[in-house]
Amino acid sequence: MEPKILKLKHPVGSGETAITELEFKGPLKGKHMKGVPAYGSLICMEHILMVGGRLCNQPPSVMNELQAEDMQAAIAITSGFLEGGPTIGQPPSE
């Protein structure tokens, strides 16, 4: 999968150290998913942001500061790398 670049609408940080874009690089590997509990085909938002941070080589402190619209875009990009694998959502009711 080709890298995906997300230009942040709300940069994280301040001054010269501000992060203005995230580059998500694939392919998704086991190291990206290590420690992520998955229940069937379900993965929670906290963990998908963790995987996204690993794909773009950013620490949790950066991913935790993403504002809502940038976070949603990061989740959408990360989900593309997870295609055919775990997804975000509620477990199906039985």
Examine the pLDDT at 87 and tell me if it is beyond 60.
no
Is 46 a domain residue? yes
Q: Is 44 exposed, middle or buried (0-12, 13-18, 19+ CB in 10 A)?
A: middle
Residue % of the chain over a pLDDT of 90: 51
Is 92 a domain residue? no
Is 89 a domain residue? no
Is 20 a domain residue? yes
* Residue 77 confidence (pLDDT): 93
Examine the pLDDT at 86 and tell me if it is beyond 90.
no
Give, in degrees to the nearest 5, the angle at Cα 41 between 29 and 72: 75
- The total number of structural domains that make up the chain: 1
Examine the pLDDT at 14 and tell me if it is beyond 70.
no
Is 94 a domain residue? no
φ and ψ at residue 7, rounded to 5 degrees: -85, 120
**Which three-class secondary structure string do you get for the chain?**
CCCEEEEEEEEECCHHHCEEEEEECCCCCHHHHCCCCCECCECCHHHHHHHHHHHCCCCHHHHCCCCHHHHHHHHHHHHHHCCCCCECCCCCCC
Supply the range of the domain harboring residue 8.
4-81
Is 38 a domain residue? yes
* Residue 1 confidence (pLDDT): 73
Is 91 a domain residue? no
Which comes out higher in pLDDT, residue 73 or 81?
73
Mean pLDDT of 28-48: 79
